[in-house]
């Protein structure tokens, strides 16, 4: 099916963030406001994550002009986990195009948990979207390369370009996840049975496990998000990583599916495309403006950082980032009057 996106050029009209000092002030306020919040628990179903210090908390805002505001434990590294799904999806879209990836992976929310096997069966093998594990495995299987090692290097190099520095594998996390990823192996074999994965499933799962075990910090994920906000150009290195069209597609998928079955709640309350990871990271993107990267290992029942969600919500409101927020238009010389109070 040929879509409107293939026929009509996308015009862009976005606002801007307030001045540097104001953004810095609000980033610090967000950190101070929630640093003592102790709700949630550290993920323990991946043994290597269970020892994370629950007190760690970082807030980072990366602007599309290259400015970076980092507060708290912004230099502490953690594994990127499911946040990687968004950026691998962008790399695959850049390589294969809008329609091919949409047909193979999909863009609709499953309404079920991220690791659901039932969701695959209910859709006759279609993974539905790239943010759940089935869709992420199908996406990783599309990464160019003749061998798993070549595909892994393509992923690592691509995510490093998004971050603006070379990212490295956390070997301990990779070993830990490899020993506990039987469910992902089962999902990959199920997808193979439906013709959604062309490569040997074990190799696909290993590349996916490796991408989740890449080490990042809050600054990295903020810069990665700001690259999507800046039409595919890394705002720090000024290198083009992906196209404007790929950024639009990726952010649309994040808006509808990035926070799993809580995506509707997230969009309703915060109004930004976002992606979380069970190590405690969250990245949220404001197109044309920048991105917020947060890190705190305490998670809620859905696997999303508690402090990170609250800090992101605070910044979305105070920086005016909500995609759905607007103010009445006022014509020159004609101040706005609400109908209820107009004479």
How far is residue 240's CA from residue 246's CA, in Å, rounded to a whole number?
12
234 annotated binding-site participant: no
45 annotated binding-site participant: no
- Residue 194 annotated as catalytic: no
CB 298 within 8 A of CB 42: yes
178 annotated binding-site participant: no
Look at the block and give the residue holding tokens 């070379």. Answer: 166
Q: List Cβ neighbours of 162 (8 Å cut-off, separation of 6 or more).
A: 87, 90, 223, 224, 227, 234, 241
Encoded tokens for 105: 């992976």
Helices 201-212, 133-140: inter-axial angle, 10-degree rounding? 110
194 annotated binding-site participant: no
- Residue 173 annotated as catalytic: no
Query: Residue 67 region, left (φ>0) first, then alpha (ψ -120 to 50), else beta?
Result: beta
- Residue 85 annotated as catalytic: yes
Give the dihedral sign, CA 126/130/132/134.
positive
Catalytic residue among 34, 42, 120, 260: 260
How far is residue 23's CA from residue 38's CA, in Å, rounded to a whole number?
25
253 annotated binding-site participant: no
177 annotated binding-site participant: yes
Catalytic residue among 23, 61, 82, 92: 82
CB 106 within 8 A of CB 126: yes
Catalytic residue among 278, 283, 285, 306: 278
How far is residue 266's CA from residue 261's CA, in Å, rounded to a whole number?
10
89 annotated binding-site participant: no
Catalytic residue among 85, 89, 275, 306: 85
Encoded tokens for 244: 């404007």
CB 279 within 8 A of CB 50: no
- Residue 260 annotated as catalytic: yes
List the Cα angle 108/132/291 in 5-degree steps.
Answer: 85
How far is residue 167's CA from residue 39's CA, in Å, rounded to a whole number?
30
Encoded tokens for 155: 């992923």
Catalytic residue among 208, 241, 246, 289: 208
**Annotated binding-site ranges for substrate:** 82, 133, 177, 184, 208, 260, 278
Active site residues: 82, 85, 208, 260, 278
**Annotated binding-site ranges:** 82, 133, 177, 184, 208, 260, 278
């Amino acid at each position: 099916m040929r879509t409107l996106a293939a026929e009509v050029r996308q015009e862009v009209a976005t606002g801007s963030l307030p001045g540097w000092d104001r953004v810095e002030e609000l980033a610090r306020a967000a950190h101070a406001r929630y640093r003592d919040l102790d709700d949630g628990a550290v993920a323990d179903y991946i043994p290597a994550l269970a020892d994370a210090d629950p007190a760690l908390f970082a807030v980072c805002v990366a602007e599309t002009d290259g400015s970076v505001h980092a507060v708290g434990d912004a230099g502490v590294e953690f594994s990127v986990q499911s946040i990687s799904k968004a950026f691998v999806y962008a790399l695959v879209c850049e390589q294969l195009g809008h329609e091919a990836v949409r047909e193979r992976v999909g863009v609709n929310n499953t309404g079920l948990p991220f690791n659901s096997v039932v969701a695959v069966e209910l859709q006759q093998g279609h993974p539905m979207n790239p943010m759940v594990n089935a869709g992420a495995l199908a996406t990783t299987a599309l990464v160019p390369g003749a061998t798993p090692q070549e595909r892994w290097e393509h992923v690592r190099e691509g995510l490093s370009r998004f971050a603006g520095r070379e990212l490295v594998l956390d070997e301990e996390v990779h070993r830990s996840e490899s020993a506990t990823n039987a469910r992902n192996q089962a999902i990959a074999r199920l997808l193979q049975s439906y013709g959604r994965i062309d490569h040997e499933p074990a190799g696909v799962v290993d590349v996916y496990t490796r991408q989740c075990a890449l080490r990042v910090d809050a600054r990295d994920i903020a810069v990665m998000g700001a690259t999507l906000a800046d039409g595919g150009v890394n705002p720090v290195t000024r290198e083009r990583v992906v196209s404007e069209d790929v950024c639009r597609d990726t952010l649309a998928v994040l808006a509808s599916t990035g926070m799993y079955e809580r995506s509707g709640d997230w969009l309703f309350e915060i109004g930004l495309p976002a992606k979380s990871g069970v190590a405690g990271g969250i990245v949220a993107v404001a197109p044309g403006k920048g991105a917020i990267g947060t890190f705190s290992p305490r998670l809620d029942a859905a696997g999303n950082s508690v402090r990170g969600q609250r800090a992101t919500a605070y910044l979305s409101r105070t920086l005016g980032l909500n995609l759905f927020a607007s103010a009445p238009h006022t014509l020159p010389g004609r101040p706005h009057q609400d109908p209820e109070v107009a004479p």
